Structure 1
Amino acid sequence: MKIKLIFAMLALTGSFSAHAALNILACEPEWGALAQELGGDKVKVANATSALQDPHRIEARPSLIARARNADMLVCTGAELEIGWLPILLRDSGNAAIQPGQPGNFEATRYVALLEKPQRLDRADGDVHAAGNPHIQTDPHNIALVADAMSKALETVDAANTAYYQARHDDFMARWRAAIARWETQAAPLKGVVIVAQHQAYPYLENWLGLKQVATLEPKPGVEPSIASLSAVLNKLSITPAKMVVRSAYNDDRASAWLSQRANIPAVVLPFTVGGTPAANTLFGLFDDTINRLLAADKVAK
């Protein structure tokens, strides 16, 4: 009787395991949101960072290591964005399934043509990424490319639910393509608008919408602006005026406020990722709110 009971319990446990949700750890909120869109109720998603944290500078805390240890799949940006903390997370988790080269390790930047590849690599130039600028999530066309690849990765890791993931992908892409068409029509007045950015975080957004960035508040990527560097930007704007200065939700607001007051241009907070503002609580909301904020600032500047 005891043996039969043990086998029955094992069979029951196996049945639960077969239907357990896939544990996904996303390095950034945009990929967590995309994994949820594609995975539906077959996945359980946790984010390693929030929209109010600089993704370059995260501490691999024990609680985060524990999440990595239990993950079936790790979804990150890549291109060295997480170089300061992800290697520690991978090492200390001891989770073979999410190590580089395994099906459970997914890097979004592998599926997108990166902008701003450096001509040289020198730490004196600041926080420069060898492969190119990793902030790909500000162009919805990049999200679509990553969605295609992530859907296939989900099918590989969880082959039993392939048909489900394919259906979720098809539904998401239909809604996403319609949204892109709407956003591009709505954002047409932004083409050619001159901006200043706090960090080199928006080349993909600028490329998509036709914005013209003339300066950054950071003298070098990842280096906090000083009065001297801000004054240099202000002098530049006397020759090439800008209509607004933009920063991400996680950036300190003092530098953009300084320039806004002295150049008499609006300071715009962009969500940068899902959760950066109250309205940007989904992938669709991220782009809705980004465009609305840019259009509102452009209207004020005219």
Structure 2
Amino acid sequence: MAAENRTEVTEFVLLGLSSRPEMQPVIFGVVLAMYLMAVMGNVLLVIVACSDPRLQTPMYFLLSQLSMIDITLPTIIIPKMLVHTLSVNRTISYKSCMIQLFFFMAVGSMEVYLLAAMAYDRYVAICEPLRYSAIVSHLLCLRITLTSWVVVSLNSLLYTLLVTRLTFCGNQVTHFFCDITPLLKLSCTRPVVNEMLIFTEGVAVVGSPFFFIWGSYVRIGIAIAHMHSVAALHKALSTCSSHILVVLLFFSSLARMYLKPSSSYDLEEDRQVAVFYTLVTPMLNPLIYSLRNQEVKGALRRLFMKLCISGWLPDKEW
């Protein structure tokens, strides 16, 4: 890139999901509806997990933490995107862009570690059921959560600082939020250090929880294969199925988005993938856990019955 094209960037222009004016009201309505569903569904799951005495277990503590992540992740991105969708001015300041990048990467990475912690919880519950209460406790889950926050925050800070060291040839971000891949695409030279970090440290930080999950389910699969009770087998499968589905949804989109060099970045495809893991997955997670979990469905019924009795909802048989 010629030196005369290098200018100091003070703000970025987020091009959004589409440049067609007639599509903006449609995008606004669809995204707003999905965002509200994601927030309300996860808020309801947090309330149920925290208020129902039967769900005061480490597993549901981790589930409530996952729901809080699924509230925070789209909230970092979607409100700003909705404003830009119906606005002519789609700029975001350089500082705000870096802040959004930091929090998005930290919160997004945190979901990976929570999924790994939930896999460990399921492993102990199925493979070491008699020792479950001695091994898995609320204190252990709290320590795992706090340690994970430290790791992902430092990792996100490292990536954000490296992005700030880049020289940008242009300020039009072909995305609807400040993500690392489209920002690397704007670099005047190929961001070799950033790409090397993604494929080394990034794979280690995000990949290690994935391999931990994979190893946990290998052990769980072996344990299930040796079960002779049909009831125990059904319970083990129903316990793990929701978590497996969430893991597959999240990691498949994550790998498709980031585990490739910036030279192969595809605008349309990657924006669609980004919508999936920033909005669709947080919207689906509470549905997956509530529809496939009898304990959560029972807690929801008890919550609605309490609301009916207290007068918050009209009388109805649940």
Which has more helix, going by share of residues?
2
Which has more strand, going by share of residues?
1
TM-score band by shorter chain is under 0.3
- TM-score, with normalisation over the residues of structure 1? 0.27
**Structure number with higher relative contact order (C-alpha < 8 Å, ≥ 6 residues apart):** 2
